[in-house]
Chains A and B, each alone.
Chain A
Amino acid sequence: MTSGRSVRVQLLRLLLPPITALMAAGAMIAYYPSIEPARAAYDQALIDVGVALGERIRFDNAAYELDLPGAAERVLRTDRYDQIYFRVLAPDGKAIAGDPGLAPPPARAVPKEGVAAYDDLYQGNEVRVVAVLVPCEGKVCTVQVAETTVKRKRLVRDIVLSSLVPTLLIAIATLIIVWFGVKRGLAPLDRLSEQIKERSPRDLRPIEVGLVPAEAKPMVGALNDLLGQVADANSNQQRFLANAAHQLRTPLAGLQAHTELALALPVPDACRAELEQVHLATVRTARLANQLLALARAEPGGTQEAGLEVLDLRRIVEGVADEWVHRALARDIDLGFDLAEARVRGNEFLLREALANLVHNALEYTPAGGHVTVRTGIRPRADGAQAVLEVDDDGPGIPPDQRAQVLQRFYRVPGTAGVGSGLGLAIVAEIAGSHGASLEIGEAAGGRGCRVTLIFPVASA
């Protein structure tokens, strides 16, 4: 199988030689049957002239002569296209009249029924010659009549053209039909590829076979099989992750429980310091496990498309606000809300996870006595209304030259306090991407702190 070549070019290449051969064959088939009778007719006309001239040979005083009045000769020599020449030879081969330069009949021109027709040259031009044997006084005279070949060539040309033109037209029509027919025949494939191009990389549903031309169905079928396998592999991975997360969290919970119990005992200070490190590490490990799961979920194929539904960002925030308030209280941070309805199409688990990471970061990096505000609502923007989810803090903020880098996995702003994994904003960015949302990092009101804004397309209903 040749690869990468256009179907059109291939078809044309395939069609061109047979079409050319057909044209040649057609021309030949038209040419031979029609050229022979026409030539015979022209030859006959020359023979008639020869016979007529032969009748004008006189024998007088033991010498042959041609009795041809000047007017008759002019008539004889008159032709619309061709020059006509003749020569009359006495039985002894001596030329008695006509154009003396005409050569005698060559040996190859064997007379049949008193006539020989052959091609020759006269004065450098091609001529058709007939030699007619004429009885005169008991002997045989020869009359040669020659004619240039203009008429004959014109005849040949006319015959060839008249047969070639229609075949040529048919050939051109065939090529045009092939060219546009292929384009038209392949149009459903173009639509199909547009359809595939427009798909989101997380969309692993099979391609609809309904609109696909029959010839492309096996290809689409194979593609769908592949999509199905990828989706299966993804959901297997999904199950594995969920399982792994659960398996990991239970022992971590046990570890955390016993560390906290140990910390509640009257242990020596040196021991307590170590236990506190163990406790911190446990909490971080647990958080890391959660984040890795969230990241895997946010990646293409991590969630089923069916998981997207119309959600109100406000309700999501309200549903999880309790979880943060205690943490904020413990850190003496004023956690506040500014919530208005904001409907988006999304996956609730992922949106909650994005929100949790944003609030976690804000609470982590805001000093005691600081403020964190979670905001939802609809905002008019240049390209129409957008739903926003925004978290402000008055911590140290993220320097402008670090704002792109903090979205990379495991990247941490140099010199940052705290115990983050560098995954939080990467997860938020991944989740934003999976919702067609954009992520902006800036300063909060007054040019201080950090503001992270997720801007979503508004869901209509």
Chain B
Amino acid sequence: MRILIVEDDVVLARGLARILEAEGYAVDAVTSGEQALLAVTQERFDLVILDVGLPGMDGFEALRRLRAAAERMPVLLLTARDAVDDRVRGLDLGGDDYVAKPFAMSELAARVRALIRRSQSQVGPKVVHGPLVLDTVARRAYLAGAPLELAAREWAVLEVLLARADRIVSKEAIIQAVANWGEELSPNAIEVYVSRLRAKLEPAGVRIRTVRGFGYMLEEYRER
């Protein structure tokens, strides 16, 4: 996995590179939008980390051109929480996610993992979450290498949670994704599916957290 860092602050860029290298990624760092554009034409990157407050060609302009050059490459924006915040938050410029400066390294690493996983799962048929593997083509699930029996509704709920792993997914969002057209599905029904999923997944350390009054979150899987 290769990551491009576009950040004009050399100290921060070096810190980021070291952290990501420690996570096992290959990292290149440039300090301007122009250099970033040149880099993506020469090399294939799995992720770009882009500071929106670049001097010269600003981050938004760089993002627009990066998108034109490499459409499917995920971009994680780094922002200071200021006036550009709202534009970033909308992600209407094509950023896939953003992290506000300053940030905890663990948070950045988690976002990077999530983005790469998401982009990989879009191209490949397999979604991997720790010991859990969903083969979306064959519609088969495996947990720690063993086949996992999932009812259709359980499969659907798990797929929604996996797509937004480490993020809260509201009950309404799950209902919308799971319910057939014209079908009324109660939040209680979702609770039933989630508790069945928990019973099957938790022995392997895959946790679904309840966020009271809101929804559920598939916790990031950590080796223990």
Contact = CB atoms under 8 A, between A and B. Distances in A.
Interface string B80-100: 111101100100000000000
B58 to A, nearest CB: 12
Given A261-B18, A337-B213, A250 B9 contact: yes
Most buried by A among B14, B15, B89: B15
A260 B22 CA distance: 12
A257 B80 contact: no
A372 to B, nearest CB: 10
Contacts of A290: 81
Contacts of A255: 11, 102
Interface residues of A, number: 40
A256 B80 contact: no
Contacts of B105: 256-257, 260-261
B214 interface: yes
A348 B213 CA distance: 22
A334 B101 CA distance: 26
B201 interface: no
Contact count band on B: 35 or more
Contact of B107 (A251, A261, A326, A349): A326
A36 interface: no
Given A257-B105, A258-B11, A335 B80 contact: no
B26 interface: no
22 contacts: A243-B82, A246-B80, A246-B82, A249-B81, A251-B11, A254-B9, A254-B11, A254-B15, A255-B11, A255-B102, A258-B11, A261-B18, A264-B22, A293-B82, A321-B214, A322-B168, A325-B168, A325-B217, A336-B212, A338-B213, A349-B85, A373-B212
Interface of B: 9, 11-12, 14-16, 18-19, 22, 51, 53, 78, 80-83, 85-86, 89, 101-107, 166-168, 170, 209, 211-214, 217, 219
Given A253-B9, A336-B211, 19 more contacts: A245-B81, A246-B53, A249-B81, A250-B53, A252-B102, A253-B103, A254-B11, A254-B12, A254-B14, A254-B15, A255-B102, A257-B105, A282-B102, A286-B101, A286-B102, A319-B89, A335-B211, A339-B214, A373-B213
